[in-house]
């Protein structure tokens, strides 16, 4: 009698374990599905690149107007706008990251130094690198050109400021 009860208990335990495992597997599947859905809803390159394009144009006019904090701010969020691509396009994002950290560094340095002449040179030079990446990724038909006015006209580019004025 004792044995039968023990076997029954064991069997019930086994069933429970099996059921729990099945529920757990289904939960993992559901979570994975949600992650996949979230990821597919995040922007890839095209959407943030629009922001990169606009902020990049604005940087120039901010520096020209002596609004160095605005230039630093635009550069910071030009890079920040690309963050979703680290999830949606990790391999390509690495190329962006090395572009921003290395190739774009002279622009950031001259902003920090408030050196207009050096900035002008570094800024104009980097446009070729933007376009080289477009070509390399099969988008040679997207060619960045310098605008005659900022992309966003609703900001005062001539307020004098320090590059360090951007809140952390
Ligand atoms: C890592 C490579 C890479 C770098 C560096 C890069 N781009 Fe792009 N850019 C792309 C790709 C790829 C696209 C096409 C978007 C897509 O469909 O994937 C693009 C598209 C664009 C577009 C068109 C966006 C639209 O849909 O309207 C603009 C504007 C742009 N880039 C500006 C720039 C500027 C300005 C720079 C330099 C400061 C730059 N890009 C640097 C890869 C790059």
Give tens-digit pLDDT for 62-74: 999 999 999 999 9
* Distance (Å) of CA 133 to CA 13, 92, 126, 146, 148: 60, 10, 11, 17, 23
Provide the pLDDT for residue 13. 75
- Residue identifier of the C-alpha nearest atom 42 of ligand 1: 134
> Which residues pair with residue 62 across a beta bridge?
none
C-alpha angle 140-73-63 in degrees, rounded to nearest 5:
80
Predicted confidence (pLDDT) per residue in 95-131, tens digit: 999 999 999 999 999 999 999 999 999 999 999 999 9
Q: Is the pLDDT of residue 44 over 90?
A: yes
What ligand 1 atom has the least distance to the C-alpha of 46?
Answer: 15
Q: Which of 96, 134, 151 to mutate to test the pocket of ligand 1 (most atoms within 8 A of CB)?
A: 134
**Which residues lie with the beta carbon below 6 Å from any ligand 1 atom?**
44-46, 49-50, 52-53, 56, 92, 95-96, 99, 130, 133-134, 137, 139, 142, 144
Neighbours of 158 (CB within 10 A): 12
């Amino acid at each position: 009698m004792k044995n039968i009860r023990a076997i029954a208990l064991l069997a019930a335990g086994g069933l429970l374990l099996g059921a729990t495992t099945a529920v757990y597997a289904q939960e993992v599947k559901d979570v994975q599905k949600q992650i996949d859905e979230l990821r597919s809803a995040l922007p890839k390159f095209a959407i943030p690149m629009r922001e990169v394009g606009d902020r990049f144009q604005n940087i120039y006019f901010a520096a020209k107007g002596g609004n160095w904090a605005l230039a630093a701010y635009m550069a910071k969020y030009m890079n920040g706008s690309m963050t979703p691509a680290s999830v949606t396009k990790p391999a390509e994002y690495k190329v962006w990251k090395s572009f921003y950290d290395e190739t774009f560094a002279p622009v950031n340095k001259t902003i920090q130094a408030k050196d207009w002449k050096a900035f002008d040179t570094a800024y104009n030079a980097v446009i070729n690198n933007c376009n080289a990446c477009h070509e390399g990724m099969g988008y040679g038909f997207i060619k960045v050109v310098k605008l005659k006015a900022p992309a966003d006209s609703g900001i005062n580019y001539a307020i004098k400021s320090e590059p360090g004025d951007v809140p952390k």
